[in-house]
Chains A and B, each alone.
Chain A
Amino acid sequence: MRPQDPTLSPETADLPEFAELPEFAELVAQQHQQLRSYVRTLGVDPDWVDDLAQEAFLVAWRERDSFDQQRDYGKWLRGIARNLVRNELRKQLRHQRLLHQGLADLLVGAADTEPEPESWEQGRIPVLRDCVEQLAPKSRELVSGRYGDGWKAPDLADHFGMKPAAVRQSLSRIRQQLKQCIELRTVEG
């Protein structure tokens, strides 16, 4: 059963104390990492990813009665997230939380039809951690400069004596490498 329109004002829901919801807290703990990166793949602006993911959880909480226990929680949450992004696209005036209207449109469409980008296991931080910490020192520094300190390629380029384009290319290669490392590890189990 699909919630009718899970995108309407999640904040107005009738909510009990969070502390009384160990199951829900558990669900959030299990799902948030993957859901957040999924939200990013829908073309949501990086600054708004967590905001939108939280909204998806709020909607899930409000609509919990309509959740069919047979289904996969992760899948259900991703459906809600897609609806939220669609809702954002429908707002005629501003798409403040999206990177670009056309791109988000394409990405949501792809998410509807294409297979899930990765398994639950692959979305977990511990798996990623092992791969990141194995990177060569310079790659490791690039990653923490870019993602931890929020530096952009030109700043990193100054720091490492590289060209900005080379920094971007290295980061791209590192992401590719990490993807393979993670896939390998999750297969090994």
Chain B
Amino acid sequence: MSKNRFDELLHLLLDDDITAAQMDELTEIVSDDRELLTRLRQHLSMSDRLSQYEDPLRNADRFMDALKVRLNANEDTGRFFEQVMASARDEACGQLRQASGQWKQASGQLRQASASNEKSGWQVARGLAGWMTAAVALVILASVIFQNDRQRGKDDLAITRINRGEEETSDAGVAVLTRVSGLQGAQTVDWAVGETIPPGLLEWSAGLLQLEFYCGATVVAEGPASLEILDDSRVICRSGRLRVHVPEPARGFAVLAPTVELVDLGTEFGVDVAVDGSTEVHVFDGSVELYDAMSDRNVTTRRELTAGDAVSLDHGGESRKIDTREFDFVTPNRLSTMAHLRRQEHLLEWRMFRDSLLHDPRVVAYFPFDRNVSDDRLLIGYGSNGTMLEGAIVGCEWSEGRWPSKTSLQFKRPGDRVRVTLPGEFESLTYSTWLRVDGLDRSFNSLLLTDGFDTNGPHWQIRGDGVLILGVKHPVKGKYGYKTDSIFNLFRLGQWVHLATVYDNSKSRVSHYVNGELASREALHEAASGLLTIGNATIGNWSLPVNSTLKNSERLRRQVRNFNGCMDELIVFGEALDDQEIRHIYEVGRP
């Protein structure tokens, strides 16, 4: 009797267009008909095989890469921190003691602060409370860097020791921004997924974001919203719609709305604060305590809501029961799907940009870091006048790039590198790359280095202390490094970042850019004489000229400069690009 209905429902299911009620009905039909159940399984199987075959996001390479990333994930981060801690242990006892002194001082201030109810007291507590562990870690890291600096005296570039550490410890976060979709608003321009969020105000006019607090709570917030993060377990919501998931270790997570304070007693609730301050509270799971706003959690104002309860509170604080509407509060899962779609759109835009670059006559070398299916040990690039470039991949492995369906090359081991030859002579040059730095393990961490270090052969690299540096050997005054201040700290590791450097002969200056913004600009140390050449060069490491006359023992003494991280896109232009053009490359390529 229900065979036709079965077909209808099956078709809807396979069209991903079936409602919950229809799903119930379908389940009912197949529950006592083996034959139909088998047919259902066959169609599911065939649908999936077709999708594997047709959907580029599901091709075999991508599946293997994702699995590889998951297999390696724990190991990589573990190894990096292990390394930092191990080298720190032996060398940094002095700084460690100093750090623990600061720690005590900080806890003293914290006690003082909590004794005082004044707002200024809060500020102090906020800055220090959650961050003592991080402060200690950073001091240790800084000491490792100082240590490295000392050994670097003999190196080929002038180095100034940079005093760091103090200002870094103030870069204190309490949450990580993990997902975004369709964000709009002036502040949002610089928000990047993976970024550490310190206490402070977040305001945006539309779109969704997800914050994962260090205590374990997850908040999905929809704009227009104005949130003030107080610490790792308290948020003031002046407007916006939040869905908060609080696992056991994060119990006590609090949301302060204009008319009410909510304290979570475990698992999941929604808060919707309108611009006029009226507030709705919906409990989806577990229970929540409500207190009057500004009552300092006065127990006489305490109310408890449990799963299925929803109340609306007007700006006077009067409350009435309403129906729950769970669907209006976006779940982390749904946000993930939305974010995924957005990123796919972004990827398409980038692909158009990539294709347009192939016709840009200024391009000397463009490596999009798309994995070459027929020979994945070749890094395919595009040179000037439609020529193809082939980089030889040594050691590196393919990995996920800025988007899930984009590849990048992972540099890990001391031998990992890509050998390239970039012909030509240039008055000016522009370098641009997208990177994910996982650690700065060496005194110098190569981006693109010419073989050896000859006159007018530029060396583009990141120093162990996080300084981006273009080293040039000038004909008269000799070696000089054009540097930024330190641009990498612990909080930028593991995130995609765009770096660009312009050697501009006609304006007689070198400019560095980080994420599309000018980071430093310096006049040429010596008036350019002769043209820049790259020739045989190495991405992510340093090689000696092939027919170098150095003895083997001298070769062995050469420093290892392997990059630790992923590279996704490298462009070399034979001309100087301006601020706007660099900004554009960043905008169109940001993940």
A→B interface (CB under 8 Å) = 11-12, 15-19, 25, 28-29, 32-33, 36-41, 43, 46-47, 49-50, 53-54, 57-58, 61, 93, 96, 99-100, 102-103, 106-107, 110-111, 114, 117-118, 123, 125, 128-129, 132, 143-144, 146-148, 150, 152-153, 165, 168-169, 171-172, 175, 178-179
Q: Is the CB of B48 within 8 A of A106?
A: no
Q: Tell me which of B31, B45, B63, B70 has the highest count of chain A C-beta atoms within 10 A of its own C-beta.
A: B45
Roughly how many angstroms separate A129 CA and B20 CA in the complex, as a whole number? 34
Q: Is the CB of B53 within 8 A of A41?
A: no
B351 sits at the interface (CB 8 A): no
Contacts of B397 in A (CB 8 A): 18-19
Q: Is the CB of A143 within 8 A of B41?
A: no
Contacts of A128 in B (CB 8 A): 49-50, 53
Chain B, 14-41, contact with A by CB distance < 8 Å: what is the 0/1 string? Answer: 1111001001101100110010011011
* Closest-CB distance, A81 to chain B (whole angstroms): 13
B→A interface (CB under 8 Å) = 7-8, 10-17, 20, 23-24, 26-27, 30-31, 34, 37-38, 40-56, 58, 60, 63-64, 66-68, 70-75, 267, 285, 333, 337, 397
Contacts of A43 in B (CB 8 A): 44
Q: Is the CB of A32 within 8 A of B27?
A: no
Q: Is the CB of B67 within 8 A of A102?
A: no
Roughly how many angstroms separate A144 CA and B56 CA in the complex, as a whole number? 11
Mind listing 28 A-B residue pairs with CB under 8 Å? A18-B68, A25-B64, A32-B64, A36-B58, A37-B44, A37-B45, A37-B46, A41-B41, A46-B16, A46-B47, A50-B66, A99-B13, A100-B27, A102-B23, A102-B31, A106-B27, A110-B41, A125-B52, A125-B53, A146-B50, A147-B47, A148-B54, A148-B55, A152-B15, A152-B16, A165-B8, A169-B7, A175-B47
Contacts of A102 in B (CB 8 A): 23-24, 27, 31
Known: A33-B60, A129-B53, A132-B53. A15 touches B74 (CB 8 A): yes
The majority secondary structure among interface residues of chain A is: helix
Q: Is the CB of A36 within 8 A of B72?
A: no
Known: A11-B74, A117-B41. A100 touches B23 (CB 8 A): yes
Query: Which listed residue (B12, B51, B55) contacts A168, Cβ 8 A?
Result: B12
Known: A168-B14, A172-B43. A96 touches B333 (CB 8 A): yes
Roughly how many angstroms separate A123 CA and B49 CA in the complex, as a whole number? 8
Contacts of A50 in B (CB 8 A): 58, 63, 66
Q: Is the CB of A33 within 8 A of B49?
A: yes
Closest to B39 in A: A176
Known: A107-B41, A143-B54, A172-B14. A46 touches B48 (CB 8 A): yes
Q: Is the CB of A143 within 8 A of B7?
A: no
Contacts of B11 in A (CB 8 A): 153, 165, 168-169, 171-172
Given contacts A41-B44, A125-B52, A171-B15, 13 further A-B contacts (CB under 8 A): A32-B64, A37-B46, A37-B49, A40-B48, A41-B48, A103-B30, A110-B34, A125-B49, A147-B55, A148-B56, A153-B11, A165-B11, A171-B14
* Closest-CB distance, B363 to chain A (whole angstroms): 31
Roughly how many angstroms separate A36 CA and B17 CA in the complex, as a whole number? 21
Roughly how many angstroms separate A96 CA and B334 CA in the complex, as a whole number? 10
* Closest-CB distance, B18 to chain A (whole angstroms): 8
Query: Which listed residue (A16, A28, A146) contacts B64, Cβ 8 A?
Result: A28
Roughly how many angstroms separate A54 CA and B64 CA in the complex, as a whole number? 9
Roughly how many angstroms separate A149 CA and B11 CA in the complex, as a whole number? 18
Roughly how many angstroms separate A165 CA and B4 CA in the complex, as a whole number? 12
* Closest-CB distance, B409 to chain A (whole angstroms): 14
Known: A102-B27, A152-B15. A15 touches B71 (CB 8 A): yes
Known: A15-B71, A36-B63, A175-B43. A99 touches B53 (CB 8 A): no
Q: Is the CB of B52 within 8 A of A37?
A: yes
* Closest-CB distance, B136 to chain A (whole angstroms): 26
Roughly how many angstroms separate A169 CA and B49 CA in the complex, as a whole number? 18
* Closest-CB distance, A180 to chain B (whole angstroms): 11
Roughly how many angstroms separate A139 CA and B74 CA in the complex, as a whole number? 45
Closest to A96 in B: B333
Q: Is the CB of A117 within 8 A of B45?
A: yes
Closest to A51 in B: B66
Q: Is the CB of A153 within 8 A of B42?
A: no
* Closest-CB distance, A39 to chain B (whole angstroms): 8
Roughly how many angstroms separate A176 CA and B487 CA in the complex, as a whole number? 58
Closest to B64 in A: A28
Q: Is the CB of A40 within 8 A of B71?
A: no
Contacts of A16 in B (CB 8 A): 75
Closest to A113 in B: B34
Contacts of A25 in B (CB 8 A): 64
Roughly how many angstroms separate A188 CA and B7 CA in the complex, as a whole number? 31
Contacts of A125 in B (CB 8 A): 49, 52-53, 60
Known: A29-B60, A33-B60, A147-B53. A153 touches B72 (CB 8 A): no
Query: Which listed residue (A47, A58, A117, A144) contacts B337, Cβ 8 A?
Result: A47
* Closest-CB distance, A146 to chain B (whole angstroms): 8
Q: Is the CB of A11 within 8 A of B70?
A: yes
Contacts of B17 in A (CB 8 A): 152-153
Known: A28-B64, A106-B30, A179-B42. A132 touches B15 (CB 8 A): no
Known: A50-B63, A143-B50. A17 touches B72 (CB 8 A): yes
* Closest-CB distance, A56 to chain B (whole angstroms): 10
Contacts of B55 in A (CB 8 A): 147-148, 150
Q: Is the CB of B45 within 8 A of A38?
A: yes
Q: Is the CB of A144 within 8 A of B54?
A: yes
* Closest-CB distance, B451 to chain A (whole angstroms): 27
Closest to A61 in B: B71
Closest to A148 in B: B54
* Closest-CB distance, B413 to chain A (whole angstroms): 9
Q: Is the CB of A58 within 8 A of B71?
A: yes
Known: A28-B64, A37-B52, A175-B50. A103 touches B71 (CB 8 A): no
Q: Is the CB of A54 within 8 A of B48?
A: no
Known: A15-B71, A32-B60. A132 touches B30 (CB 8 A): no
Roughly how many angstroms separate A144 CA and B66 CA in the complex, as a whole number? 24
* Closest-CB distance, A71 to chain B (whole angstroms): 22
Contacts of A144 in B (CB 8 A): 54
Query: Which listed residue (A15, A19, A114) contacts B38, Cβ 8 A?
Result: A114
Q: Is the CB of A41 within 8 A of B45?
A: yes
Contacts of A32 in B (CB 8 A): 60, 63-64
Contacts of A38 in B (CB 8 A): 45
Contacts of B72 in A (CB 8 A): 15, 17-18
* Closest-CB distance, A179 to chain B (whole angstroms): 6
Contacts of A37 in B (CB 8 A): 44-46, 48-49, 52
Roughly how many angstroms separate A100 CA and B29 CA in the complex, as a whole number? 14
Q: Is the CB of B67 within 8 A of A28?
A: yes
Known: A93-B267, A110-B37. A54 touches B70 (CB 8 A): yes
Roughly how many angstroms separate A17 CA and B73 CA in the complex, as a whole number? 10
Contacts of B7 in A (CB 8 A): 169, 172
Roughly how many angstroms separate A165 CA and B12 CA in the complex, as a whole number? 9
Q: Is the CB of B16 within 8 A of A172?
A: no
